[in-house]
């Protein structure tokens, strides 16, 4: 008989734990879901009218289930004690120091969450690795948990990586392409796997729920992110060839993507991919390959990240070169600071690198993003621990409340995030923007969202990634 899950606890109320478990509560009214975090202010925000993350559709789901079968708390012990199934959804950032620094995932949070479960549990639990981790992490978790099991308590470990993308998280969770559940191929392991299958089967068609062994599941998560990022680096590499030859990267992407074997998605050239995971997970894969003594494999995946860095630098050079080889004291309006549209998340955003480079060149940058807070922007641009450069930063960086305010007296506009409101045909009056800028007025489209022809007719000098200068 399968164990029926009645109470779920999720350790980690972040971008993954919050939306994922809110959707489980929304779809499974017979299951109580408690999301726990050590961070008190984050939990207070989850319990308030202003959720700690911006994600379209999330508010509605949380407000509908909160206090009914969805709870947010800092009470780790109580929640772990009561749960039959525990998601470990804590952060796994790249290690900053020690062995593997700059590449390996820092598993300290996963380990401490696992130890918390081992210390507190008084009944059997299914422990689910939701965080993205290096292949075979479940083995370490199992060792810690088994050292604490006895004839009355057993722990079954599953891997259930998350594939949601920020900005579309709710739709991704409600209609996933697939749900992946890895488990040990023992009778107990398969029984635990089935218990989690039944949770998802409340709303996901069973042919979309894939069960595999633990290690395939762990590796598939790193592999999926590496393959997605590899497509972006491939198209960005081609964008450089386009700029030098007169080919147009959107046309090339379209022509290639029409081949059903290639497909159209993830072929949009850009200033470089950002986000908390692509770079981290690929570096994690590089480290894993090196550990397995596979240097050629490591070098192959490392190139995806290197190309991404190159793309950002190449774009910065193009801006400086076009602005007559100097941007000292020039005003550059930055449209967008989040790593993609429809999120307020700035982790690894290409805009951070670009702004830092412009500041290094003594430009004055004025940033507008509809969802990122001023505090977050200054946090991202300052370099705590290196030098306290907040004062210098404030001389160079200002935050605007609108695209119009950002572009007042500007020499150039740089589009860094593809927010819909920046598109010519949707909201912005680019004639008004042009009229208030220094001339010649330059616009650099790092996201291929603008109608260059229309802007040129207004008088703008338009430079687009993946297109030669007109």
Ligand X SMILES: NC(=O)C1=CN([C@@H]2O[C@H](COP(=O)(O)OP(=O)(O)OC[C@H]3O[C@@H](n4cnc5c(N)ncnc54)[C@H](O)[C@@H]3O)[C@@H](O)[C@H]2O)C=CC1
Ligand Y SMILES: O=C(O)[C@H]1O[C@H](OP(=O)(O)OP(=O)(O)OC[C@H]2O[C@@H](n3ccc(=O)[nH]c3=O)[C@H](O)[C@@H]2O)[C@H](O)[C@@H](O)[C@@H]1O
* Residues assigned a catalytic role: 277
String of contacts with ligand X for each residue 158-197, x by CB under 6 A: ----x-x-x-------------------------------
- Asked if 338 interacts with ligand X (CB under 6 A), we say no
Name the 3-class secondary structure at 71: strand
132 labeled binding residue: yes
Q: Which is nearer to ligand Y, 100 or 466 (CB)?
A: 466
- Asked if 16 interacts with ligand X (CB under 6 A), we say yes
Q: Which is nearer to ligand X, 112 or 317 (CB)?
A: 112
Q: Which stretch binds ligand Y (CB under 6 A): 32-40, 91-99, 157-165, 399-407?
A: 157-165
Tokens representing residue 15 in the block? 């971008």
Interface residue with ligand Y, options 14, 19, 134, 274 (CB under 6 A)? 274
List % helix, strand, coil for the chain (3-state, nearest 5): 45, 15, 40
* Strands across the sheet containing 179-183: 70-73, 32-36, 7-11, 85-88, 125-129, 155-159, 179-183, 209-213
Q: What is the DSSP pairing of strand 442-445 with strand 412-415?
A: parallel
d(C-alpha 460, C-alpha 458), whole Å: 6
Interface residue with ligand Y, options 42, 302, 312, 340 (CB under 6 A)? 340
- Asked if 449 interacts with ligand Y (CB under 6 A), we say no
17 binds, among ligand X, ligand Y, none (CB under 5 to 8 A by kind): ligand X
Residues sharing a CB contact under 8 Å with residue 4, sequence separation 6 or more, in sequence order: 195, 198
Residue 317 beta carbon to ligand X: minimum distance, rounded to whole angstroms: 30
Name the 3-class secondary structure at 372: coil
- Asked if 37 interacts with ligand Y (CB under 6 A), we say no
Interface residue with ligand X, options 51, 113, 393, 414 (CB under 6 A)? 113
Q: What residues from 117 to 136 belong to the interface with ligand X (CB under 6 A)?
A: 131-132
Q: What is the DSSP pairing of strand 209-213 with strand 179-183?
A: parallel
Q: Are 442 and 362 in contact (CB under 8 A)?
A: no
Residue 79 beta carbon to ligand Y: minimum distance, rounded to whole angstroms: 25
CA proximity to 402, closest of 432, 359, 367, 445: 367
Q: Which is nearer to ligand X, 20 or 193 (CB)?
A: 20
Q: What residues from 226 to 265 belong to the interface with ligand Y (CB under 6 A)?
A: 228, 232
Q: Which helix (H) or strand (E) holds 378?
A: helix 374-381
Residue 167 beta carbon to ligand X: minimum distance, rounded to whole angstroms: 9
Q: Which is nearer to ligand X, 36 or 51 (CB)?
A: 36
Residue 49 beta carbon to ligand Y: minimum distance, rounded to whole angstroms: 25
Tokens representing residue 228 in the block? 């997605």
d(C-alpha 278, C-alpha 264), whole Å: 19
Which spans in 177-293 are helix H?
Answer: 187-200, 214-245, 249-257, 278-291
Q: Are 132 and 161 in contact (CB under 8 A)?
A: yes
Q: Which helix (H) or strand (E) holds 399?
A: strand 397-399
Q: Which stretch binds ligand X (CB under 6 A): 90-98, 171-179, 201-209, 436-444?
A: 90-98
Q: Which stretch binds ligand Y (CB under 6 A): 23-31, 148-156, 206-214, 273-281?
A: 273-281
Q: 411 vs 62, 174, 326, CA distance in Å? A: 44, 44, 12
Residue 168 beta carbon to ligand X: minimum distance, rounded to whole angstroms: 10
Contacting positions for ligand Y (CB under 6 A): 132, 162-166, 225, 228, 232, 266-268, 270, 273-278, 339-340
């Amino acid at each position: 008989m399968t164990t029926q899950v009645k109470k779920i606890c999720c350790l980690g109320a972040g971008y993954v734990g919050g939306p994922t478990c809110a959707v489980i509560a929304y779809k499974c009214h017979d299951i109580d879901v408690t999301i726990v975090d050590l961070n008190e202010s984050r939990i207070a925000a989850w319990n308030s009218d202003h959720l700690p993350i911006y994600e379209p559709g999330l508010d509605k789901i949380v407000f509908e289930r909160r206090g009914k079968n969805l709870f947010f708390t800092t009470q780790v012990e109580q929640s772990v004690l009561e749960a039959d199934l525990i998601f470990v959804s804590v952060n796994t950032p790249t290690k900053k120091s020690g062995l593997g620094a700059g590449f390996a995932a820092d598993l300290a949070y996963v380990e401490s969450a696992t130890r918390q479960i081992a210390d507190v549990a008084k009944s059997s639990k299914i422990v689910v690795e939701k965080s993205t981790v290096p292949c075979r992490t479940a083995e370490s978790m199992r060792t810690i948990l088994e050292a604490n099991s006895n004839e009355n308590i057993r722990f079954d470990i599953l891997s259930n990586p998350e594939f949601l993308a920020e900005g579309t998280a709710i739709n991704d969770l409600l209609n996933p392409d697939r749900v992946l559940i890895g488990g040990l191929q023992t009778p107990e392991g398969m029984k635990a796997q089935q218990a989690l299958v039944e949770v998802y089967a409340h709303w996901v068609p069973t042919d979309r729920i894939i069960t595999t062994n633990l290690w395939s599941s762990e590796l598939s998560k790193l592999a999926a992110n590496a393959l997605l990022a590899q497509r972006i680096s491939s198209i960005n590499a081609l964008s450089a060839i386009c700029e030098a030859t007169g080919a147009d990267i959107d046309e090339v992407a379209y022509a290639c993507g029409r081949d059903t074997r290639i497909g159209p998605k993830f072929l949009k050239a850009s200033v470089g991919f950002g986000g908390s995971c692509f770079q981290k997970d690929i570096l994690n894969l590089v480290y894993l390959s090196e550990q397995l003594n596979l240097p050629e494999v490591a070098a192959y995946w490392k190139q995806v990240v290197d190309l991404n860095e190159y793309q950002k630098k190449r774009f910065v050079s193009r801006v400086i070169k076009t602005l007559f080889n100097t941007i000292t004291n020039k005003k550059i309006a930055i449209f967008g600071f989040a790593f993609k549209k429809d999120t307020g998340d700035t982790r690894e955003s290409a805009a951070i690198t670009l702004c830092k480079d412009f500041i290094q060149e003594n430009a004055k940058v004025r940033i507008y993003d509809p969802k990122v807070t001023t505090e977050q922007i200054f946090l991202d641009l300052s370099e705590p621990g290196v030098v306290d450069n907040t004062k210098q930063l404030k001389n160079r960086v200002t935050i605007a409340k609108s695209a119009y305010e950002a572009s007042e007296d500007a020499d150039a506009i740089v589009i860094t995030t593809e927010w819909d409101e920046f598109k010519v045909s949707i909201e912005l009056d680019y004639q008004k923007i042009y009229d208030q800028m220094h001339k010649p007025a330059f616009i650099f489209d790092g996201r291929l969202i603008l109608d260059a022809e229309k802007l040129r007719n207004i008088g703008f000098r338009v430079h687009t990634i993946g297109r030669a200068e007109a």
